[in-house]
Amino acid sequence: MSVSPTSPGPGRAFSAPREPSLLDALAPVVVLIGLIVLTIVLYGTGAADGPLQVALFMSATFAGVVAYKNGHTAAAIEEAAVGGVASAMGAVFILLAVGALIGTWNLAGTIPTIVDYGLALLRPAIFFAIIAVICAVVGAVTGSSWTTAATLGVAFVGMAPVLKMPTAITAGAVISGAYMGDKMSPLSETTILVPSLVGGVTVNQHIRGMLWTVAPSFVLAVGIFLGVGFAQNPSGGVSTTAARDALAAVYHITPWNLLPLVLLIVLSFIQVPPFLAIFGTALFSGVLASFTQPEVVKALVDKPGQGPVLTGIEAIYTSMATGHVAHSSNDTINALFSRGGMTSMLTTVWLILGALSFAAIMEQAGFINRLLQPLVHRARSDGRLIAATGLTCIGLNIIAGDQYVADVLPARAYREEYAKRGLAPRMLSRTVEDTGTVTSPLVPWNSCGAYMAGVLQVPTVEYLPFAFFNLINPLLSIAFGLTGFRVERQEPATPQGQEQASSP
């Protein structure tokens, strides 16, 4: 993002902004880290319910003050912050649509049906490993880790307490599988975006290049999930008959309840825009509920004298806006399926807006570029350059709080250096995806971390140690770079060659 100053600030003559010093660039980062640590110490896992957002906006304000000191006008800083927020509007609309979807899927019995079938098929010992594999397949088909987590992920996390399995590990398995599938899908936004930024590599070449790091990382993660599952397996097993009977007493369990899931997968596969696919499926689910779950619909609205049509419409409005509330004599059923609604996503939206405001001001003021320059110049060997790329992506996920910032800036900043040293373009695209895309859900204030915590209802700090694929993949990618294993090379680019390589 590049925003030019439009007018001088009050009481100062117009002049070009000064280049930031290293201290200028570091100061907002130090303030951010200090405020976040303080917030987590004071509030623990509840920090994301409001205090963390305040810390992010305070950090953005401090970064704006430093930028103003360096000659950036108040108008330019404001425009940068607004532009950062505007860049998140697509994600915000998707978040709201996901909230609506979760509400109507609970109303229509879609999530309860997935839970029921899962209880019939899954066993505690293989629970985590199978979740990771299923989410990987669905993530690859839909090209979206977000959609996978918001649909199957919600159901699997709801299933975990019934099987007496930890929800934090379950969430880690969901995220591991969803991000593996997302990365390896030609439908994924980041899988398309990153190679286009690097230049000289197609999407298919990029995916083939990632296989060397992604496949062993996922196999290792699934193996760990199997080990954890056998360790967690309750002695004597867990009988799910009572749980399934309780579900059947509230919901009409039928394969017809899975129609919304099929519709969403089809819409995603034919590349319908994510918001339209998710919101359209939410509406379809609400309409379906009146036919498959009439008693649940009546219990939600609770207006005996009202006709079925108006009752159905009101149920759709309610479940999409404030979420579904289950009314049954079973407290466990009520707790598991009283969820969703657009309002449930507002705290996550607030968190994303705060993180992107900070990131936009940091980029506008030149602070991020100033922090990147020493890393590029000090990476003397090719292995160190790849490691520096990976650490930059991880650092930007923490500092900027957005996956796209962590993918876009390193892809642009390191592209020329990779070409000069004769490193194949897909080495850069692979490293950016392995470290930028994959680590984004591990940061609580990152847009992806906030989303996953909000959708799965598991705090980021709780599922982080168990997102094994997301932890292993970046480490393996950096290790490959440092050792030179599967590092592809080409002829070093001349100035003209660099220009050619950079064009799509």
Supply the DSSP string of 418-445, one letter for each residue: HHHHTB-HHHHHHHHIIIIIHHGGGSTT
Ramachandran sector of residue 401 (left: φ over 0; alpha: ψ -120 to 50; beta: rest): left
Q: What pLDDT shows up at residue 6? A: 40
Q: What is the DSSP letter of 186?
A: T
What gap in Å lies between CA 326 and CA 363, rounded to an integer?
46
Residue 475 confidence class, pLDDT cut points 50, 70, 90: very high
What gap in Å lies between CA 87 and CA 93, rounded to an integer?
11
Higher-pLDDT residue of 5 and 220 is 220
pTM of the model: 0.75
Is residue 184 in a domain? yes
Provide the residue range defining the domain that includes 286: 90-344
Nearest Cα neighbor of 491 from 213, 200, 193 is 200
Tell the burial category of 245 from Cβ atoms under 10 Å away from its Cβ (0-12, 13-18, 19+): exposed
- pLDDT at residue 243 above 80? no
Q: Are 343 and 321 spatial neighbours (Cβ–Cβ below 8 Å)? A: yes
Q: Are 263 and 272 spatial neighbours (Cβ–Cβ below 8 Å)? A: no
Is residue 164 in a domain? yes
- pLDDT at residue 14 above 60? no
Q: What pLDDT shows up at residue 239? A: 61
Q: What pLDDT shows up at residue 318? A: 93
Give the other-Cβ count within 10 Å of 255's Cβ. 9
Partners of 423 in the beta sheet? 489
Crossing angle for the helix pair 367-378 and 382-399, to the nearest 10 degrees: 160
What gap in Å lies between CA 386 and CA 67, rounded to an integer?
31
Q: How many domains does the chain have?
A: 1
Per-position b or e across 6-29, b if 16+ CB within 10 A of its CB? eeebeeeeeeebeebeeebbebbb
The one-letter amino acid at 225: F
Higher-pLDDT residue of 462 and 43 is 462
Tokens at 328, concatenated: 């049954």
CA angle 275, 281, 284 (to 5 degrees): 140
Give the other-Cβ count within 10 Å of 328's Cβ. 17
Q: What pLDDT shows up at residue 497? A: 42
Residue 16 confidence class, pLDDT cut points 50, 70, 90: confident
Tokens at 148, concatenated: 């996978």
Which range (159-173, 345-359, 457-471) has the least confidence? 345-359
Strand spans (E) along 350-431 = none
Percentage of the chain modeled with pLDDT above 70: 92
Which range (142-156, 266-280, 329-343) has the least confidence? 329-343
Name the 3-class secondary structure at 320: helix
